């Protein structure tokens, strides 16, 4: 899995990519882009987070369809295949739903997949959703993969993460 901490397009985001090959370095540094940290593709905590996100996507639906202007940073994360096998999970913003289908815009520069690029508009198949999030009254809702990654940080790293992203993780 690959993880990225960063803010892009006014959406505080943490990126995760699952990789089939685990012989890769733990951190990938890219000029002008956030560092990417890898997590094993069989990471139990991360896989539980993805499963929980899939089970609770109805909560995101409710928020999306409410058109509540107090809700910020509505986003979904989707899995894309990579040429080496495995997948890269990328956040999408500008989420809409039409005819029971989700659509969004790629909000991160992909690191490994060649299927999409920053700014592409895509359909988000339900079976490819790996997370969802929004911020309500300064508190993160959803964001289960974010929580799983944040839980692995030290207390001082968690504090810095919270300050950088501008929301509380309860």
Tell me the average pLDDT across 121-133: 95
Q: What is the DSSP annotation of 144-162?
A: HHHHHHHTTS-HHHHHHHH
The pLDDT assigned to 126 comes to: 93
Whether the pLDDT of residue 120 is over 60: the answer is yes
Query: Would residue 36 count as lying in a domain?
Result: yes
Does 165 score more than 90 pLDDT? no
Computed on alpha carbons and rounded to an integer, the radius of gyration of the chain in Å comes to: 15
Instruction: Tell me the two tokens of residue 60.
Output: 């995101």
- Number of structural domains in the chain: 1
pLDDT for the residue numbered 78: 93
Task: Give the tens place of pLDDT for each residue, 40-84.
Answer: 778 899 899 999 999 999 999 999 999 898 899 999 999 998 888
Give the pLDDT confidence score for residue 122 in this predicted structure. 97
- Does any domain span residue 14? yes
Residue 33 in any domain: the answer is: yes
Instruction: State percent of the chain over pLDDT 90.
Output: 46
Q: Pick the more confident residue, 135 or 29.
A: 135
Q: How far apart are CA 100 and CA 82, in angstroms?
A: 27
In a domain, 109, yes or no: yes
Q: Measured between alpha carbons, how far is 145 from 14 in angstroms, rounded to an integer?
A: 8
Q: Is residue 170 part of a domain?
A: no
- Higher pLDDT among residues 163 and 5, named by residue: 163
pLDDT for the residue 26: 59
pLDDT, one tens digit per residue, over 133-160 is 999 999 999 999 889 888 888 899 888 8
Q: Is the pLDDT of residue 13 over 90?
A: no
Residue 94, in any domain of the structure: yes
Q: What is the dihedral of CA 8, 105, 55, 112, to 10 degrees?
A: -70
Average pLDDT score over residue span 88-103: 92
Domain extent for 86: 2-165
Question: Tens digits of per-residue pLDDT, 14-24?
Answer: 444 444 334 44
Q: Is residue 28 part of a domain?
A: yes
- Residues 81 and 58: their CA atoms lie apart, in Å, by 25
Give residues with Cβ within 8 angstroms of 142, minimum separation 6. 53, 56, 59, 60, 131, 132, 133, 134
d(CA 126, CA 89): 14
Contacts by 117-124 with C-beta closer than 8 Å and gap 24+? 121/94, 122/78, 122/92, 124/76, 124/78, 124/92, 124/95
In a domain, 70, yes or no: yes
């Amino acid at each position: 899995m690959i993880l990225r901490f960063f803010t892009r397009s006014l959406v505080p985001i943490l990126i995760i990519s699952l990789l089939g090959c685990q012989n890769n370095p733990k951190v990938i540094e890219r000029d002008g882009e956030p560092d990417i940290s890898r997590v094993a593709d069989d990471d139990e905590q991360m896989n539980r987070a993805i499963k929980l996100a899939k089970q609770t996507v109805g909560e995101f639906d409710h928020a999306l369809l409410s058109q509540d202007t107090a809700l910020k940073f509505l986003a979904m994360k989707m899995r894309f295949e990579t040429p080496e096998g495995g997948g890269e999970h990328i956040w999408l913003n500008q989420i809409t739903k039409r005819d029971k289908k989700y659509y969004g815009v790629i909000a991160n520069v992909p690191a490994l997949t060649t299927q999409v690029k920053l700014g592409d508009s895509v359909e988000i198949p339900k079976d490819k959703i790996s997370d969802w999030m929004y911020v309500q009254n300064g508190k993160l809702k959803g964001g289960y993969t974010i929580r799983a990654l944040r839980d692995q940080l030290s207390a001082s790293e968690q504090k810095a993460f919270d300050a950088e992203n501008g929301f509380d993780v309860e």
